[in-house]
Amino acid sequence: MSAANMESFIRSYSTLMLTMWRDDEERARLLADPTGYAAAAGLPVAPGSIVEVDTSACALPMSPEDVMADWSRTPGRHILHVPDASVAEHGELTETQLQSVAAGLLCVIEIV
C-alpha cells in the first residue's frame, strides 16, 4: 500500500473508530451492514469483498500496520477491528501510546 493510501486508510479508520465510540446508532448501522458502512466511511473495500467486524479487545497496542495487515490479509475478506470504547484505558498515556494516537490508531486494554 502506498504512503498516500496508508494515510487515507488511517484517517478513515480513525474517524470510524471515534464515531463508533460516540454513537450507538452508528455502531448498530455498522454491525447491520459492515461492508456498505466501511465503504461509505472511505475504507478501501475491494470489489466483491466482505467486511467482518471484530469487536473483541485487540492487542496492546495495535499498530496501524497490524490493523492494515488484518484489513488486507485475506482476499475477498476484510477484518475491521472495532472494540468497545470500554476497552480503552482511562488515565495518562505513555510516550509510545501517544505516538500511536498521533499515528491515528490505538487500542489499549487494562489488564487486572
Write the pLDDT tens digit of every residue in 51-84: 999 988 664 457 888 888 899 999 999 999 888 7
Q: Is residue 109 part of a domain?
A: no
Q: Which of 38, 60, 39 is nearest to 109 (CA)?
A: 60
Q: One-letter amino acid identity for 100?
A: S
Comparison of pLDDT for 72 and 97, the residue scoring more: 72
Asked if residue 69 is part of any domain, the answer here is yes
Question: In this structure, what DSSP letter does residue 48 have?
Answer: T
Is 110 among the domain residues? no
Residue 108's pLDDT band (cuts 50, 70, 90): very low
- Predicted TM-score (pTM) of the model is 0.72
What is the distance between the terminal CA atoms of the chain, rounded to a whole angstrom? Answer: 37
Structural domain boundaries enclosing 89: 3-103
Please state the domain count of the chain: 1
